[in-house]
Chain A
Amino acid sequence: MGPIQRLRKDLFANPLDGLVSVLLLSGLAVAGYRLLHWALTQARWAVIQANSTLLAVGRYPIEQQWRLWLLVALVAAASGLSWGVLRGLPVRDRPKTTLWPSNDRLAAILLVFLASWTPALLGLTLAIQARWWTLTALVLLMRWLAGRYAGRFAKPAALAMPLLWPLLYLLGMVLIGGGLGLVTVGANEWGGLLLTLVEASFAILLSFPLGVLLALGRRSSLPMLRWGSIVYIEFIRGAPLITLLFLGQNILGFLLPGGLAPDRVWRAAWILTFFSAAYLAEAVRSGLAAVPRGQLEAARSLGLSLPQALGRVVLPQALRVALPATVGQFISLLQDTTLLSLIGLLDLLGTARSVMANPLYLGKSAEVYLTLAVLFWCCCAALGLGSRALERRLSPPSLSR
């Protein structure tokens, strides 16, 4: 079936379908045209161009920003590497895919396309534009190298891959915050997208193990453990996040003697973690419930200890079932970080509100909010894409298409 026939079948199968399609399409076209018209002729994007650094990293000291560039370069290299290994490494019981499937080619073209004009559009200096081009080239180069040679180094690659990102994360925190010979940059000076990503990634990484433990605790036969988990989960789920954040900011200062309370930024990060863990626990519990009881009993009767049976038999199946709900929780956690602007932290939204208060850019809120929407969409889309790739890889061969 050609594209024309397909279109005809999907959109114009009968008169009513045709009418609805025409109405919807023309509505979309008008809205799209007006948005573009506004963005290209009426909007004044100087507010974004002049404040791009502020929106990206907040008040991070300029002389230390090379550390963030280094981190971005490392992340770019690691992404390219993981992407290539994911494609190049054969999976057991799975037909070997081509090295450059059409999706990947499309993604690479899109990446090059974006890198070719976005930095110029943002009004960055030529030196900074060149950095973004180099970063794009780095991603693609690592993707190509890893895809080509992953098969040859299959064993070490399979061992090193799971370690790559946690190590990079630790290194990233050192690069951002300082220590090990680097000048300390206090959390008070982080801001913009940097702070949003630090808070979200910290909460995501820590809330996951916490959530798994809570889910296991809730199904445990030990009453103390079970009731402790239930009380914790229900308490946290019974309070809105913003309430908990306000509690953290306002009460902790009184509870702990001066100086002992963690910095405001870390206080918020911990509260996000504890909040997210309660929801994750329920997502994981739904996964656990989907694993038949016989699996655990079979594993135990084979002589596995309880931790072994849970870790090797039950959890892998449960987490696979819970993956979509888990990623959904992560995405909403990323968006929940915007609440930090209400407690006075300069996350992406907080920085944006600060920018809009600059008398030079008063009344430019539409431009700023649209930019935020695009940025958040990119981050969430990346999370969603990653999770679907992981889902496909984890699903047992019999269930895959």
Chain B
Amino acid sequence: MPFLRKLLPKRSLTSTLGLALLLVSCAADGGGGGLQSQKIDLIKGRAKLICGVDGKLPGFSFVGSDGAYSGLDVDVCKAVAASLLGDPAKVDYRDLNSSERFAALASGEVDLLSRNTTETLSRDAAGGNGLSFAPTTFYDGQGVMAAAGSGVKSLKDLAGKPICVESGTTTELNLADRMREIKATYTPLKFQTGDQTYAAYLQGRCLAVTSDRSQLAAKRTSFPDPAAHLLLEEVLSKEPLTPATTNADPVWSDAVRWSVYALMQAEELGITKANVAAKLAQAKANPNLADLRRFLGVEGDFGKTLGLPADFVVKEIAAVGNYGEIFDRNVGPGSKLKLDRGLNRQWSKGGLIYSPPFR
């Protein structure tokens, strides 16, 4: 129904279409039926979710020595597979490069793109790439790294000092803009490649080096003494890395969206991989815990309205844990990257991770 999609705004289309489908299915089998989604039926039919990942990005997606994929992006794939199919292992991973990722999604070669993709207007717009973005799973951004012993704590301390930067990148421009904003002069040392930049930094030719925070953290692990280098708190640019589906199947997009929100909501509610079974038992035993009962699918029809099984949240959390656990394990303190949560804290702790209410 592409003509409909053009006529109606996106949100209202989702609900209109959902309503229309609901009405149709109600009319068809007397109110007992669920939602209709070609994509969901297809995935269920083949009993595999096909997930596009980068495959070569430390902390986000890579292949371990045993041949198993892991990383933050991979855990999102596993979570969605667990919520729809009940099994985090039912995923086929496709390594995609940055130029073919959108074509692979549009042609239906992958069901879900979980490949450190920055959410932007042109990618979201129906007249652009026509993607439908799920909630952001990692707020990346340009950061600055400096030696721990140098006394540099913020950008202001770098006034008048040399900073290593890759030339011809947006990184270089962002740094110049920000330093102009805080009225600090500095000496940019520009290099052609990332390797040269980091080598110069390690030789002490500059006091600090700048790049995307996740990149800096990954590079830091290969330094001789990783603990001697600090990432400054300041973030110079916005890179919200977000899983995506196509606009073509709003039911499927909603299912993915709320599967990801559920990971965040679970952290907010303190539900972890370890205690999800206990929480479920608690919810079943106590009819007064209405919110928890609805969230875990003991009562209500959240799953059904999304085209997912009623217990999709339980299956997800049991498989990969909540958002905080995923972060810690792959890029946070539990990993070699040792990234600070920063913007990726829960909203209640000053971050941007915010799940709308499950109601």
Contacts and interface: CB of A to CB of B under 8 A. Distances in A.
A344 B107 contact: no
Interface stretch (B97-105, B162-170, B236-244, B267-275): B97-105
B63 interface: yes
Contacts of B178: none
B236 to A, nearest CB: 24
A240 to B, nearest CB: 14
A350 B100 contact: no
A322 interface: no
B100 A250 contact: yes
A358 B94 contact: no
A28 B62 CA distance: 38
Contacts of B63: 54, 59, 346, 351, 354-355, 358
A382 interface: no
B221 A344 contact: no
A32 interface: no
How many A residues touch the partner, as a band? Answer: 20 to 34
A284 B336 CA distance: 54
Contacts of B88: none
A246 B100 CA distance: 8
- Among B56, B109, B218, B219, the most chain A Cβ lie within 10 Å of the Cβ of B56
Interface stretch (A109-117, A168-176, A229-237, A359-367): A359-367
B59 interface: yes
A264 interface: yes
Contacts of B107: 250, 253-254, 258
A236 B65 CA distance: 38
Interface string B308-348: 00000000000000000000000000011100000000000
Contacts of A362: 58, 218-219, 221-222, 336
How many B residues touch the partner, as a band? Answer: 20 to 34
Contact of B96 (A62, A344, A359): A344
Contacts of B104: 249-250, 253
B143 interface: no
B67 A358 contact: no
A358 B108 contact: no
B64 interface: yes
A354 B66 CA distance: 12
A112 B218 CA distance: 42
Nearest to B218: A362
B92 interface: yes
Interface of A: 50-51, 53-54, 58-60, 62, 188, 246, 249-250, 253-254, 258, 264, 342-346, 350-351, 353-360, 362-364
20 contacts: A53-B65, A54-B65, A60-B67, A250-B104, A253-B107, A254-B106, A258-B108, A264-B94, A344-B94, A344-B95, A344-B96, A345-B95, A355-B63, A355-B65, A359-B62, A359-B218, A360-B65, A360-B336, A362-B219, A362-B222
Given A250-B107, A359-B336, 14 more contacts: A50-B65, A51-B65, A253-B109, A258-B107, A264-B109, A344-B95, A346-B55, A346-B63, A350-B56, A351-B63, A354-B56, A358-B63, A359-B221, A362-B221
